[in-house]
Structure 1
C-alpha cells in the first residue's frame, strides 16, 4: 500500500511538471520558423564592467570623490579566477595601474566582445529568419550575426566576426577576428588578438536570457575559461536605444597635449 501511494505521488508530480514546462516553452517568443526570437532591448544587472571577478568597493581618483568609486559586486567568471599566463598577468597589473586613462572605454573605443554585453548600457537585438543585428548604446557599437553565410573574418576588429548556429533553442555564436586591443573590464583584465569567444544565448523565460561565454587565447590564458550572467528585457513602453556618441567627450584625454590654448 505504501509503495503504491508513493508511486501515485510521483506520477502526480510528473503530470503537474509537464504542463509547466510546456507553458514555459510556449512563453518564449518565436519566429515563424519556430526558432526563439531574441528581438528586444536587453541589459545585464552586474558590476562586471568594473571587474569581472568578485570585488569589494574601492575609491576612484580622489579629486572626483565618490563619482568614480567602484561598487562591490560578485564575479561572473566560473571559479572566480582567470588563468593568465605569467606575461599576461603582468600586463593585467600594468593595465590596472593605468586604468583611469588607458581603458579603451575611457577613450570611447568599441567595447569588444564579450564586454559589450555586460556594460551598464542597453543592447537592442534585431532578429529575423534571415538576419540578426546586435546594437549597443555605448559608442554606437554593433555586430552583424551571420546566421547562414558563415565566413572567416576578413579583417581584425574590436567587436570580432560572429558566425551563429543553433543547438536546440540555444543560439551559439562563434566570434573570432579580434584586434587584441580590447579590455574585459575597467580593472585591466584583457585578451589578445588570438581571442576566440563562443557565446551561448538561452531563454530563461520570455524576458530573461541566460548568457554564457567561453574564452580561449593561447597567448594570454593557460586554458579556456567561462563566464555567465543573465540579461533582462526592458519592458517599458516605447523602449529603444538612444544615441551615446562619446567621442566628443574624450578630446581632452586623447588630444589635450596637442590643443592650442589661448595664452594666459
Structure 2
C-alpha cells in the first residue's frame, strides 16, 4: 500500500510538472513595452535563413538546387523549411488558368528579354511592394504613438503603418507599397494592406510578389501577422488574397530575427536601372534568334 501511495504521489508530481510546463509555454512572451503599452520591436531585423531565397521564388523558397549549384556546393539539408508557402499545402501559388498562362509568358520574357518591359520590376529599381520587401535585407522598426514605421535598407524604401484606427485611403489610390492599416492583438501586429499599384496593360509596371512573375490585380489584399515570440524572434505570416488572379487566398510564413550585429547602420543603397539592361536585351535577342526560348527558372530542371 505504501509503495502504491508513493508511486501515485510521484505520478501526480510528474503530471503537475508537465501541466505547469505546458501552461508556461503557452503564455505569451512578455518583454519591453513602448510608452503607449505596445510590444517594443524597435531595432533592425532580417528575414531568417529559411526565407533567404524566397524573394526569387516563393514556390521554391529556401535553398533550391540551382542556388546551391551557383555557389558550387551540393544540395544540403540544413534543417530549414524548404518552402514558405504553407497554404495550399503543395506550396504552389494557386493561379487561375488565365493567370498561370500570363505568368508563364512573364517567365519566357524574363529568360530572353527584348524589351524593357520584359525585365523584372525590381531589376528596374522599382519598389518591391508587400510582402516581398520583407525578404530583401535588413529592415528597421520605429514606433511612435499611433503608427509603426518600417525602413528598408534595399533602395531605402519605407512603410508607414497607422495603428490609430483611421480609415483606408479612398479606393483607386494606387501605391507601390500599398495603403496599410494595423492594430495590435496582444503580441501580434496585424497589418492589412490594400490599394496597390496596378497596371492592367503591363503587369511589370507594378511590383511582383517574387522574381518569377507572380503578379496581382487591383483586388489584391494582404493581411500580415507579425507575432513577437521572443526578444529576438518574430513569427511572420501573410495571407495573400486576390480573387481576380488566384483561385483561393494563400499563405506564406517564415521567421524574422533581430540582427545580431550591434549598432548596425544602413549602408547607402543606390540602384541604376541601366547597369545591365543593354547586355540583357542583346542576350535576349540572340536567344530568340537561336530559337532557345524557355521559361526562366532557378531550378536545374
Q: TM-score, normalization: structure 1?
A: 0.82
CA distances 1:173-220 after superposition (whole Å, capped 9, x unpaired): 010000132211112222222110000000121101111000110110
How far, CA to CA, are the matches of 1:21 and 1:215 in structure 2? 28
Structure 2: stretches of 5+ with no match in the other structure: 112-117, 199-205, 282-301
List per-residue Cα deviations over 1:97-129 (Å, max 9, x = no partner): 22365211110100000000112x111111133
1:152–1:161 CA contact under 8 A, matched in 2? yes
User: Greater relative contact order (Cα 8 A, min sep 6): structure 1 or 2?
Assistant: 2
The 1:21–1:66 alpha-carbon spacing in structure 2 relative to 1, beyond 3 Å, is closer
Matched ranges for 1:209-248 at <5 A: 209-246=234-271, 248=272
Aligned to 1:9: 14
SS class of match (1:90): helix
- The equivalent residue for 1:253 is 277
- Which of 65, 82, 87 in structure 2 is aligned with 1:57? 65
For 1:141 and 1:249, locate their aligned partners in 2 and report how far apart those are by CA, in whole Å: 16
Task: Describe the superposition over 1:132-182 as per-residue Cα deviations: whole angstroms up to 9, x where unpaired.
Answer: 111111122111001114222342011001100122221100100001322
Residue 90, structure 1, aligned to residue 95, structure 2: no
Which residue in 1 is equivalent to 2:83? 75
SS in 1 for 2:193: strand
Of 125, 141, 150, which residue of structure 1 is paired with 2:166? 150
Decide which of 135, 141, 159 is 2:157's aligned counterpart: 141
Counterpart CA distance in 1 for 2:179 and 2:122 is 20
Of structures 1 and 2, the larger Rg is shown by 2
Q: Quick one: structure 1 residues 170 and 94, their matched pair in 2 at CA, closer, same or farther if it must change by over 3 Å?
A: same
Partner in structure 1 of residue 182 of structure 2: 164
Report the CA distance between 1:57 and its aligned residue. 2.8
Work out the number of aligned pairs and report it.
245
Whether the aligned pair in 2 keeps the contact of 1:108 and 1:250 (CA below 8 Å) is no
CA distance in 2, matches of 1:203, 1:189: 28
Q: 1:16 to 1:152 in 2, by over 3 A?
A: closer
